Amino acid sequence: MTHTWSQRLRHATDRDWTASTGHRFVDELLAGTVDDDVLAHYLVQDYQFCDAFTALLGQACASAPGLPSRLRFARQLGMFASDEDTYFVDSFDALGVLEADRVDPALTAATRSFDQVMRDAIESRSYAQVLAVLLVAEWLYLDWAERADREGMAATRPEHVGWVDLHRGPDFRAWVEWLQAELDANEPADPHDKDAAERAFTRSVACERAFFDAAYGQ
């Protein structure tokens, strides 16, 4: 069976990928047992992740080869600015997160590393490098959130269920499948660009794992 470029990258990073989708944080989120301090810490860091992530979506829009792709990113940016931001604000309120931690928290090493990966991709302006990082961030999240469909979910609190629901369902799945097809359709002919995109993919998967670890202070 032949595999696409994105499938090969996914298999090459299986160790960090499955450690992320099967992470204790995901187990506890789905079970509804994640400690409030752990969740608050994770969400505070993730809100900062969202800054570079939004810029990355903007760069994808700019680097895309034409209007249909640009419009796809523009739609996703709109969703990100509405539904996802509302989730953060509501969850910060529910968890009693202080204003200073919402706007200017101390960043963990994991957050800084992921931020650097995203900013490197932005600076490259390479469509493949930008897509590689975006695809990991969305595909890996779809993969763990769909555990709720496969295994069921005991969680009921909006802070728990909301984070799962933002990363599953037909619209999010279609977005991830589109990103995957877009990366495969834009595999660079330039070996340096291709190599850099592969490194960006691999670094991103490692960052996802470290990001979950950091929620527990590891």
Instruction: Tell me the closest approach of the beta carbon of residue 59 to ligand NSP, in angstroms.
Output: 15
- CA distances 3 to 33, 80, 90, 185, Å, are 38, 31, 41, 13
Q: Is 16 in the site for ligand NSP (CB under 6 A)?
A: no
Q: Which of 5, 17, 73, 211 binds ligand NSP (CB under 6 A)?
A: 211
Nearer to ligand NSP, 161 or 188 (CB): 161
Q: Which residues are annotated as a binding site for substrate?
A: 46, 84, 138
Report in angstroms how near the CB of residue 140 gets to ligand NSP at its nearest.
Answer: 7
Active-site hit among 28, 159, 198, 208: 208
Contacts of 6 (CB under 8 A, 6+ apart): 135, 180, 183, 184
Phi, psi of 163 (to 5 degrees): -70, -35
- 208 annotated active-site: yes
- Nearest CA to 41 among 82, 81, 83, 97? 97
Nearer to ligand NSP, 101 or 208 (CB): 208
For the CB of residue 159, give the shortest distance to ligand NSP in the complex, in Å.
Answer: 14
Which lies closer to ligand NSP via its Cβ, residue 46 or residue 120? 46
Residue nearest to ligand NSP (CB): 137
| Smallest separation (angstroms) from ligand NSP to the CB of 134 | 8
Q: Which two tokens stand for residue 191?
A: 């070996």
Residue with Cβ nearer ligand NSP (95 or 193): 95
Question: Between residue 119 and residue 178, which ones bind ligand NSP under the rule CB under 6 A?
Answer: 137-138, 141
Binding site for ligand NSP (CB under 6 A): 46, 49, 137-138, 141, 208, 211
The residues that are catalytic are 208
